[in-house]
A and B are shown apart, each in its own frame.
With several copies, the nearest count.
Chain A
């Protein structure tokens, strides 16, 4: 079992003819992902990375029965690409693009309330169900099949934790990078809910960071609705207020909301141990199994 993606997921790559899109389409196919099409306006009829390219996502959905997309489209056009995926309609859209203007995402967020599509990202590494399907840029080789779910706002931090787990022989059901932007599609709560419902997921790792209140809401959800144990990590403990740390969403406001302390306290209150180092997180997961 897994969440959101598996062997059957039929993927269209938006922006497949671009450098990044092309490279990662090939990487995904190599990993075993069922990439069925590309979508790039004006490039319909071509073949790239061995799959047919269509001018619109809708055509790819109709002609190739695609039900998910991965979006490698420059920031200026990424909002539009997400709207196109939602309207196709697909079941899942994974937006890798970093640097999508926040107000574009506010509009996307409004549309998300009107449709049934899951959006992951933007500014995220994607989602992987080890051994089955990978949608995004995650390095497949560090993942292994197993029973731990993982959800994170950060890409490379995820790799760090996964690497520790895999080296200890602890595999993963699904790992999802939800992205580091202020407004994103799938939230911690959304992902945790799916992991809670997944029979094979026996423990979950949640890597949060400073900024926003998503971790606090997740803590509340864990406390009230989850039986599956969760091990936490929060990056950005040393970040001073008012300074954005790389991720557009990683900023402690002047009024002190979004601090690491608040998030760690909320998680601890919900019974979630929060590691001081990535290795400690792996220790905590090991103790659950």
Chain B
């Protein structure tokens, strides 16, 4: 789960990390009111989960009420890489002399968190990581002990942070690391941490992603999830319990449903291999019952981009007859099937499932390859 910048900054401020004064606004009038309270210069920043907001026109610096109104009108409601901007953060402008990158994430290969600081802040850190990896100081942290103070100092000095600010930056890093652990974050980064012209150290942006698998023990953060949904499909996926990225919307037109992440990914890859474009990833998981299968179909039908649907089930604990029942139930509600559905069942009770399936409503294929080919062809037909 990704927190919005304004949510992450609330968390940071509560933990004692200095952040600029700010207001959340979802209307032009609210933006104007906010700059009235905060003063100028101020930044108007789109609150959507999109990287590179600035370059895409999602952030504007304003120095007057007229500019603020103009910026609000242009940003609120704009489409930013496919997401509609519904909220902006209005924030006091910071007069900075230097920018740092400070972050904590999980080093998968080591199985340990890693703390990072770079004096190349304010730019895309992934570009820095690729082009000048030596510009990022890294320190792996033993998860049993947590971050020792000396480790925070080590990474600060290794990054080459000026001595005058080393203590403040180390302190921010330690607080971020504690937040990382206490909030079950998968990633926290502040890019940039700004050194202001009056020698303050301020977190000017905030990224905080929470481990979906740990939300059960993070009730306060879980409450923020509702506000973090970007559209109705994401909200519906959560309601249906396809959370934890079991539903991922993509940009193609072949809807895909299967059981098991690897098999569903493989189905996506085969759609591509046979010339189609996947509209989504939807993993119904192991042992799904009829209702979950019906919900999955509703989920995919709700995506207006979808032109055909392929079901790919290899039953282990999932039973083919249950899946078939769910498909029938879901489709029998319609007077006319909204999009053509192809089904491939294998493994546990696949034979029984194929007998149950109403072949007036779906096409049954015996192999994975033929099922995908059929769904790709169906979608192509719609687009002709």
Which A residues are closer than 8 A to B by beta carbons? 20, 41-42, 44-45, 55-59, 75-77, 80-81, 83-84, 87, 98-107, 109-111, 125, 137-139, 142, 152-160, 163, 180, 182-183, 207, 209-214, 217, 233, 235-240, 242-250, 253-256, 276-279
Contact = CB atoms under 8 A, between A and B. Distances in A.
B186 A209 contact: no
Interface string B144-167: 110011110110010000010011
Interface centre among B129, B166, B184, B281 (most CB of A within 10 A): B281
Interface stretch (B16-24, B106-114, B327-335): B106-114
Given A44-B157, A80-B148, A155-B262, 6 more contacts: A56-B154, A80-B149, A107-B144, A156-B347, A238-B278, A279-B369
B266 A245 contact: no
Given A109-B112, A182-B106, A246-B265, A100 B272 contact: no
B303 interface: no
Given A103-B181, A255-B126, A246 B369 contact: no
Contact of A247 (B154, B262, B287, B317): B262
B126 to A, nearest CB: 4
A277 B264 CA distance: 13
Interface in B191-250: 211-214, 216-217, 244-246, 248, 250
Contact of B265 (A125, A209, A214): A209
Given A83-B150, A160-B266, A55 B109 contact: no
A100 B285 CA distance: 15
5 contacts: A152-B262, A244-B245, A245-B264, A248-B244, A250-B262
Nearest to A100: B213
Contact of A248 (B166, B212, B259, B278): B212
Interface pairs A-B: 4 shortest CB-CB: A154-B262, A246-B261, A156-B260, A157-B262
B197 to A, nearest CB: 22
A236 to B, nearest CB: 4
A213 B154 contact: no
Interface of B: 51, 106, 108-109, 111-113, 126, 129-130, 142-145, 148-151, 153-154, 157, 163, 166-167, 181, 184, 186, 211-214, 216-217, 244-246, 248, 250, 258-266, 268-273, 278, 281, 283, 285-287, 314-317, 346-348, 368-369
Given A44-B157, A80-B148, A101-B211, A209 B184 contact: no
Contact of B262 (A56, A58, A99, A153): A153
B246 A246 contact: yes
Contacts of A57: 150
A125 B262 CA distance: 12
A249 B108 contact: yes
A103 B210 CA distance: 11
B248 A243 contact: yes
A215 B214 CA distance: 26
A183 B106 contact: yes
Contact of B268 (A59, A102, A211, A238): A238
Contact of B150 (A84, A99, A152, A255): A84
A140 to B, nearest CB: 10
B269 A237 contact: yes
A239 B251 CA distance: 11
Contacts of B144: 107, 110-111
Given A41-B166, A246-B246, A254-B51, A210 B265 contact: yes
A157 B263 contact: yes
B262 A180 contact: yes
B245 A243 contact: yes
Contacts of B368: 160, 277-278
B163 to A, nearest CB: 6
Contacts of A278: 266, 368
B373 to A, nearest CB: 11
Contacts of B250: 238, 240, 243
A53 to B, nearest CB: 12
Given A137-B286, A245-B281, A156 B106 contact: no
Nearest to B218: A101
B283 A103 contact: no
Contacts of A279: 369
Contacts of B316: 125, 137-139, 155-156, 159
Contacts of A110: 111-112, 142-144
A276 B273 contact: yes
Nearest to A109: B111
Contacts of A59: 157
A256 B131 CA distance: 13
A84 B154 CA distance: 9
Nearest to A217: B109
Nearest to A152: B262
A157 B148 contact: no
A183 B145 contact: no
Contacts of A106: 106, 111-113, 143
A42 B246 CA distance: 34
B351 to A, nearest CB: 13
Given A103-B214, A106-B112, A249-B108, A156 B263 contact: yes
B3 to A, nearest CB: 15
Given A154-B260, A246-B283, A279-B369, A56 B265 contact: no
Contacts of B181: 103
A117 B54 CA distance: 50
B273 A41 contact: no
Contacts of A152: 262
Interface centre among B167, B258, B262, B285 (most CB of A within 10 A): B262
Contacts of B113: 103, 106
A255 B130 contact: yes
A156 B259 contact: yes
A160 B263 contact: yes
Contacts of B265: 154, 157, 209-210, 235-236, 238-239, 245-246, 250
Contacts of A248: 211-213, 244-245
A142 B369 CA distance: 19
